[in-house]
Amino acid sequence: QGKVESYFFDLRKTLYEYDLVLSKQRESLYNTRREVLTSGDMTPLMVRCSEELADKILEAHITPKTPKKLWLPLLARVGNTMRQYGPSAFKDITGKRLMEIGQGDYEKVRSYLRFRAVEAYF
């Protein structure tokens, strides 16, 4: 009896934690939806979303602490991922090109990708 109750308690606890995550995601989605519906100008929202996407793509592959000797193949993956979102808009974003632009500076690469993501929207 005790084992069964413990099992179901843990199950309910896990389900509650899962529900909290869904609730946060739902709240975020509804906030964005509300912003879209009440905003007359979508430009600031699209700029923010484009910049966030570029940041997430970069962060998924490389961080400021990643050793510089590993950058080229990782930046090539960044370029590949960017091209999945816009094959023609990001066709020139390659690992080699990002290495040239960044010159070993993570923030330069980040700024460039954010600029290009916003540019692709317009």
Contact between 14 and 6 (Cβ < 8 Å)? no
Task: Answer whether 0.85 is exceeded by the pTM.
Answer: no
Length of the chain in residues, anyone? 122
Rounded distance, CA 116 to CA 70, Å?
23
Phi, psi of 25 (to 5 degrees): -65, -40
Considering the domain architecture, whether residues 67 and 95 belong to the same structural domain is answered as: yes
Considering the domain architecture, whether residues 22 and 47 belong to the same structural domain is answered as: no
Q: Tokens representing 107?
A: 């923030």
List of E strands, 1-122: none
Return the percentage of the chain with pLDDT > 70, whole number. Answer: 100
Tell me, rounded to whole angstroms, the distance of Cα 85 from its chain centroid.
12
Considering the domain architecture, whether residues 101 and 78 belong to the same structural domain is answered as: yes
* Confidence band, pLDDT 50/70/90 cuts, at residue 28: very high
Q: How many domains does the chain have?
A: 2
Which residues span the domain enclosing 21?
1-38
